[in-house]
Structure 1
Amino acid sequence: MNTPLVADLDEKALLDLIFPRLGPDTALLGPGDDAAVIAAPDGRTVISIDTLVQDADFRLIWPSGYRTTGFDVGWKCVAQNISDIRAMGAVPTSLVVSLTLPGSTEVEWVKDLADGLAAAIAALAFERCSVVGGDLGRGNAIVVTAAVTGDLEGRAPVLRSGARPGDVLAHIGALGLAAGGLAVLEGGLDMSDPGGSDDQELAGLAMAQCRPRLPRTGAGPAAAVAGATAMLDVSDGLVRDAGRIARASGVGIDLDADYLRTKAESLEPAAARLGADPLDWVLGGGEDHGLLAAFPPDAVLPEGFVRIGDVVDGEGVTFGGTIPPVTGWDHFAG
């Protein structure tokens, strides 16, 4: 029996398979018309966009043998987009998804992607969020782009530019797990069946790369309510993203070397098997999509946030007063 491919269906037939899998529609007018209509009770809309490209952001088959599922890509698409909205202190309200597919893509993979979108929204977003529309096209590689909107619910947006010397730098979420997972997927160990792997530690890291574990749902808005002076999501590595707050705010940031070395120690057994330095994962690894925020020194940190450094006079990022050993991810660097 032949496996149905995208090329075997017309656009309407493919959309008819996708739409019912996307979960509850929370928009005033959802998929099916020329555009969606969503509520904006605050009078302002926060918006962001991100893209996943085959062989740049994910591989269909990794060197470890792991086959990326549509569910993985759908989950990651939601995770990286709603993380940007949370980092502004807002609540996600809608996603519009553009999907480019080669004709050779299996229909089941596309259905699985829709399931991943719906599952991630249910697990990571708020009740107000859903996929409200998008675009479907044909191309030479799989490309998934999502634009996400958010509602500030009457709060001021939390920018990168408000940190001041004396503020506490705090973080919520994972550090280094997704980077460790990338090393597992790109490495020589067999991960063709992570669920059946004898090494569940490495399998767990692989899944942290494919399906990032975001901090609790209300972390971004909670930080805004607690008085966060600056915030962003850690997508390109702790050092690089802390540097973005430092530049935007005109300050220096000193990371707590003792605490972060302790975080790295928990990853040491896995890193040793891969010939890697776990501190590089913690400081330079991206895609965990935790939140990094500065708070006034007298602020009570919201649940889950942990102090990992200080905002100081000066510029750039230091690691216990010294130059960090890594800088993080740059999409266009060699």
Structure 2
Amino acid sequence: MKPPKNPTLAEVGEQAAINVIIAHAPSSRNGDDAAVLPHAAPNSRMVVTTDMLVENRHFSLDWSTPAEIGRKAITQNFADVEAMGARPIAALLGLSVPSYTRLGFVSDLARGIAQRVGDYGAELVGGDITDGEAIVISVTAIGQLGGSIPALTLDAARPGQILIASGEIGASAAGYALLKRFGRDGVPREFMPLIQSHCATKIPRGRGFVARTAGVTAMTDNSDGLVHDLETMARRSGVTINVDSAGISPSPLMRKAAELLSADPWEWVLSGGEDHTLLATTNCAPPVGFRRIGLVNKQHFHRLVTVDHKTPDYTAGWNSF
């Protein structure tokens, strides 16, 4: 009797799942009890972060492929490394999946992870897999911060600096709204760029390093909502931030999606999140790939973050609970 083409993990066991992950994302540092990374260059520091994706909370198999989920898991972690001005060099994967999960899911997930890790010239160097009630993906990202320039922390925004951004704002939330209304198969093809912005977000490699070397002082990524994330920066830095609406205006495609859904695209821009757009402050001109979107002020306004010097129409952001 031939074995099934796409067996469950219960049928093939843990080692088979590990084997397909390693097959897609091979690394000479993976396979022992722990990975041994090369010593950082002189005057360098390591940057470490971790984040999780939970089925039906952070992704849905109704509209995301396993490969897209894998790419998204790496992007959201590597974006945090980039936001510090560092270079991602390695990732660890923790995976909890029900035993009835097909081996093909793990294989495709690993393929997506390998694709995105490869985009950064990094490696998947190890991890763990276990049985669980739902799919939970945990990624630990490791980066390298070279030289003596300070890391780009949240508390280094100063009055008089300009606020800059690299990437679209609101596209992921627009894609999510379309998926909720139409499902993956029902979304008109012209909106596929927005769908990809949600299902497999991508940020340019090395943009954080460029910002740090160009004199940026504070930086974060738009993961929980623009106003929410900027409020965190403003609070930590003891400043207020005014955003110019012209610098964050919804794209024509987002406006067209909003018309179709009878929605306000500014809600996606101000509170959507998950674009992982880099948001930063600087005394200098915007570096390559960044644009000016606002100004940092002294902490004397009634709100930490304003848009065109007014209270934003939307201020909500992602809340894990």
TM-score with structure 1 setting the length: 0.89
Q: How does 1:27-42 map to 2 (within 5 A)?
A: 30-39=29-38, 40-41=40-41, 42=43
- Report whether the alignment pairs 1:104 with 2:93: no
What secondary structure does 1:230 align onto? strand
**Deviation, structure 1 residue 166:** 0.5
- How does 1:304-323 map onto structure 2 within 5 Å? 304-314=289-299, 316-323=304-311
Does 2:220 align with 1:253?
no
**Alignment partner of 2:190 out of 190, 196, 201:** 201
Cα distance between partner residues in 2 of 1:78 and 1:3: 25
Find out whether 1:139 has 2:153 as its counterpart. no
Q: Distance in 1 between matches of 2:245 and 2:277?
A: 18
Corresponding position: 1:301 with 2:272: no
Give 4+ residue runs of structure 1 displaced > 6 Å after superposition. Answer: none
Whole-Å separation in 1 of the counterparts to 2:85 and 2:212: 5
The whole-number CA distance in structure 2 between the counterparts of 1:20 and 1:242 is: 40
Q: What is the identity, as a one-letter code, of the residue corresponding to 2:59?
A: F
3-state SS of 2:216 partner? coil
- Give the letter for the 1:32 counterpart: G
Please, which of 255, 263, 267 is the counterpart of residue 268 of structure 1? 255
Gapped regions of structure 1 (runs ≥ 5): none
Give the corresponding residue for 1:156.
Answer: 150
Cα distance in structure 2, aligned partners of 1:167 and 1:239: 18
Q: CA deviation at 1:183?
A: 0.4
Deviation larger for 229-238 or 34-43: 34-43
Indicate the residue corresponding to 1:192 in structure 2. Answer: 185
1-side partners of 2:316 and 2:235: how far apart?
Answer: 16
- Alignment RMSD: 1.6
The question of whether the paired residues in 1 share the 8 Å contact of 2:153 and 2:218 is answered with yes
Tell me which residue corresponds to 1:167.
161
SS in 2 for 1:283: helix
Gaps of 5+ in 2: none
- Match of 2:315, SS? coil
Per the TM alignment, residue 266 of structure 1 is displaced from its structure 2 partner at its CA by 4.7
Matched, 1:279 2:266: yes
Question: What is aligned with 1:212?
Answer: 201
Aligned to 1:71: 67
Q: 1:2, 1:159 → 2: CA distance?
A: 49
* Correspondence for 1:180 among 167, 170, 174: 174
Q: CA deviation at 1:201?
A: 2.7
SS at match of 2:201: coil
Q: Deviations over 1:187-223 (max 9, x none)?
A: 1x24227xxx6x2232321221110031x21110111
For 2:125 and 2:260, the matched residues in 1 are separated by 44
1:250 and 1:310, CA in 2 relative to 1: closer, same or farther beyond 3 A? same
CA contact (8 A) 2:227 2:317 kept: no
Per the TM alignment, residue 43 of structure 1 is displaced from its structure 2 partner at its CA by 4.6
What's 1:116 paired with?
112
Distance in 2 of aligned mates of 1:107 and 1:84 = 30
How far has the Cα of 1:304 moved from its partner? 1.1
1:13, 1:270 → 2: CA distance? Answer: 43
Amino acid of the structure 2 residue aligned with 1:255: V
Tell me, in whole angstroms, the C-alpha distance in 2 between the residues paired with 1:275 and 1:329. Answer: 21
In the other structure, the counterpart of 1:130 is 123
Residues 191 and 203 in structure 1, CA contact (< 8 A), matched pair in contact too = no
State the Cα distance separating 1:148 from its structure 2 match: 0.6
